[in-house]
């Protein structure tokens, strides 16, 4: 894991930590799986910090370029599952 997480210099330290926590959840969805309610909570907090869809897409793209993990498939799966389900995405 030799990459950096996308963030804005305008965010507070707590907001940066919360965004990094969200992206760590995306990694977990690919590596070992993550409970839907866990990633949902992380995503809700992410959306409080990044409410704009255009900004969200920018951060998702930056994260994928750095890490190789696409965020959108995780979000799509999260929205389709029940609370107790585990989200596990296969990396292409």
- With beta carbons less than 8 A apart as the criterion, state whether 66 and 6 touch: yes
Residue 4 within any structural domain of the chain: no
pLDDT tens digit sequence for 4-20: 899 999 999 999 999 99
What does the alpha-carbon distance between residue 9 and residue 15 come to, in Å, rounded to a whole number? Answer: 10
- CATH number, domain of 23, equals 1.10.220.80
In a domain, 52, yes or no: yes
Tell me, yes or no, whether 25 lies in a domain: yes
Q: How confident is the model over 16-41, as pLDDT tens digits?
A: 999 999 999 999 999 999 999 999 99
Q: Which two tokens stand for residue 63?
A: 């994260």
Residue 86, in any domain of the structure: no
Q: Does some domain include residue 91?
A: no
- Give the residue numbers spanning the domain of 21: 13-81
Q: List 87's β-bridge partners, or say none.
A: 34
Task: Report residue 23 as tokens.
Answer: 């992206």
Structure tokens at 92: 């292409």
1 assigned to some structural domain: no
pTM for the full predicted model: 0.92
- 57: number of Cβ within 10 Å: 13
How many domains does one find in the chain?
A: 1
Phi, psi of 4, deg, nearest 5:
-110, 160
Q: Does some domain include residue 2?
A: no
């Amino acid at each position: 894991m030799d990459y950096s997480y996308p963030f804005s210099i305008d965010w507070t330290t707590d907001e940066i930590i919360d965004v990094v926590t969200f992206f760590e959840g995306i990694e977990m969805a690919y590596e070992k799986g993550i409970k839907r309610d866990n990633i949902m909570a992380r995503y809700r907090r992410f959306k409080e910090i990044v409410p704009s869809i255009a900004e969200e897409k920018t951060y998702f793209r930056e994260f994928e370029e750095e890490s190789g993990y696409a965020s959108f498939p995780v979000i799509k799966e999260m929205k389709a599952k029940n609370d107790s389900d585990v989200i596990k995405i296969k990396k292409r």
